[in-house]
Structure 1
Amino acid sequence: MHPIIHVEDLHAARGAGAVTLLDVRYRMGGPDGPPEFAAGHIPGARYVDLDAALAAPAVRIDGRTPRGRHPLPDPEVFGAAMRAAGVHADAPVVVYDDWSGHAAARCWWLLRHHGHPDVRVLDGGWAAWTASGGGVETGGPDDPVASGDFVARPGGMPVVEADGVGDLPVLLDARAPARYAGLTEPLDPVAGHIPGALNFPSTDNLDEAGRFRPVAQLRAAYADLGVVPGVEVGVYCGSGVTAALDVLALELIGVRAALYPGSWSEWVADPDRPAVTGPRRRT
């Protein structure tokens, strides 16, 4: 199943029959998603909270997070959240946000990882919908929704853990170049990147309008780092959220990448794990 849907096709899909719409608006530092959802959302959409449904609570020890800042949710918790949002196993799901697809990609990845066969991210998100003249519905996220029947069965997407990232032919760091290089680190206690990792910022997947770049452009950009079909690839970021956008973009070019869920925030929780600094490398 193609991992993105354009707004014109979403209009057609909504007119043709059942599609479950999930609004996962979330941005680090705000604004909060629920008030944004209540003020206006795609008609029929259900709100999904990233912190509550798409991640487990972070455990902090001496300022470090041994499982990362956004650990993967327990499958039972995630499945229950999806059923509460009306997700059915046999009905297509479209996910959108207002954070350049980052939160939506996390939800897309989790649903695919837990066995849903038909999940797509709205290209351009909420901005694309409103720009297209799509209808807007108001109302809070607590409005009643008919429950779905989706059961979470993890294993549908590849995962790599800390002890395996060094074995991958290519490891991509999806954070901004300054964080990758170790010039700044606003969230985690150590700056830098995992040794051998190459930098492909998640925002490089998108054009100026916040939509995915053409497949040919993506294919060329990733090939510049040695990422081509048939090569094993892993992706990480700060906490396993924004890396999902790289994973989604790689699906567009025919590369199935493994996500490192704990990402940098888990990696640096162990002081024995090395961190290196320096500018973006290319092959």
Structure 2
Amino acid sequence: MRPLSSAPIIGAVEAAAWTDAVRIDVRWTLGGPSKEAEYAAGHLPGAVWLDFDRDVCGPPGPGGRHPLPDPEALQAVLRAAGIDDGSPVLVYDDGDGMSAARTWWTLRWAGIEDVRVLLGGFKAWTDAGLPVETQAPASSTLASGESAQRPEGNVTVRPGSLPVLDADGAAAWAAEHDLVDVRAPERYRGEVEPIDPVAGHIPGAVNRFLGEDDLGDVDRIRARYESIAEPAFYCGSGVGAARSALALTAAGRPTPPVYIGSWSEWSSGGREVARGEES
């Protein structure tokens, strides 16, 4: 059964009926330990575990804390997960939508067209009384070395299918359109910076805190961005920005550009920094 709409966010009951989708578990916490043990303790039936930091993102470096993955490495991961060209994909996390949204964005960037995020994540699934399982499917690649006989997929990664900004592109966008910083207001203003080496924001950027975007309330999302004609998003390391891109897409707007390097790249490169409220 196919979902009733083409919206990129899907509820638990409809997701349960979408039986031809490849299910991907990307539960994750920023700076926290792997949640692979939680996957092993219970996951959606047939779901494949992907380590968000290792499998969905590239290694940290000059391009930021969560850069784009190498296309060949990503292709190998997705084939091991059993994804074919044309496969529909359902991704989920714990429920905040952060790692699931970045996975949605990465797969869409890689040319996979039909990708949906489970609204409310694993918690919404279990709250709905839907079944879980503990057995890893054939395509999972657990640290324990578990393997099985499921054939690999044949998906071909085609990078560049969503718009991406680099640092120069973000600066140019801020000068000509609306570059939206979705971090907490105090980080945007430069009052605190718990992670990156410099506090502040990209000159010319405006602030719309992602925590005020309820992924299940598209009317509120439309209203929040009604005055922003051509947004592009950035955050700390390109994860929250992907969540905001998902929110805007779900609200019926074109998927906006994302500055994947975000503040983690900008603040480490000696670039100009602004502080205080929006000008």
The answer to whether the superposition gives a TM-score over 0.5 is yes
User: Letter of the aligned partner of 1:243 in structure 2?
Assistant: A
Using the TM superposition, give the Cα deviation of residue 107 of structure 1 relative to its aligned residue in structure 2, in angstroms: 0.7
Match of 2:106 among 98, 103, 110: 110
Corresponding residue number in structure 1 for 2:198: 190
| Structural RMSD (CA) | 1.6
1:135-191 C-alpha deviation (Å, 9 max, x unpaired)? 111145345343111111011100111112232201111212221121211110001
Amino acid at match of 1:269: S
2-structure distance, mates of 1:181, 1:32: 31
Q: For residues 170 and 60 of structure 2, what CA distance do their matches in structure 1 show?
A: 22
Alignment partner for residue 43 of structure 2, among 41, 54, 65?
41
- Report the residue type matching 2:80 in the other structure: A
The structural deviation recorded for 1:80 is 0.7
1:27–1:99 Cα contact (<8 Å) kept: no
For the structure 1 residues 79 and 183, does the alpha-carbon distance in structure 2 shift closer, same or farther, using more than 3 Å as the test? same
- CA deviations over 1:46-86 (Å, ceiling 9, x no partner): 00111111111112xxxxxx211111101011111111111
In 2, the alpha carbon distance for the partners of 1:263 and 1:29 equals 17
The answer on 1:216 being equivalent to 2:219 is: yes
Structure 2 CA distance, aligned partners of 1:99 and 1:12?
19
Cα deviation 1:95-115 (Å, max 9, x = unaligned): 000150110011101111111
Cα deviation, residue 38, structure 1: 0.5
Please give the secondary structure, in 2, of the residue aligned with 1:35: helix
SS of 1:178's partner is helix
TM normalised by structure 1 equals 0.88
Residues 221-268 of structure 1: per-residue CA shift (max 9 Å, x gap): 112xx32xxx33211111111110000111123132101011001001
State the SS of the aligned residue for 2:106: helix
Note the C-alpha offset of 1:40: 0.8
Structure 2 partner of 1:3: 8
Match for residue 59 of structure 2? 57
Partner of 2:272: 274
Q: How does 1:104-143 map to 2 (within 5 A)?
A: 104-139=100-135, 141=142, 142-143=146-147
Quick check: 2:102–2:242 contact (8 Å CA) kept in 1?
yes
- Structure 1 pair 29–67 and aligned structure 2 pair: CA distance change class (3 A): closer
Answer yes or no: is the 8 Å Cα contact 2:12–2:128 preserved in 1. Answer: yes
Matched to 2:25, the amino acid is: D
Q: TM (normalized to structure 2)?
A: 0.89
Mapping 1:1-283, distance limit 5 Å: 1-14=6-19, 18-59=20-61, 66-139=62-135, 141=142, 142-144=146-148, 145-168=150-173, 169-206=177-214, 212-223=215-226, 226-227=227-228, 231-253=229-251, 254-271=253-270, 273-279=271-277, 281=278
Q: Is the alpha carbon distance of 1:31 and 1:46 closer, same or farther for their aligned partners in structure 2, counting shifts above 3 Å? A: same
Q: Show the counterpart of 1:62.
A: none
Identity of aligned residues (%): 46
User: 3-state DSSP class of the match of 1:250?
Assistant: helix
Number of residue pairs matched? 261
Unaligned runs of at least 5 residues, structure 2: 1-5, 137-141
Tell me if structure 1 keeps the 8 A contact 2:233–2:257.
yes
Q: 1:146 to 1:174 in 2, by over 3 A?
A: farther
- Residues 95 and 123, structure 2, Cα contact 8 Å, conserved in 1: no
Gaps of 5+ in 1: 60-65, 207-211
Give the whole-Å Cα distance in 2 for the aligned partners of 1:213 and 1:37: 24
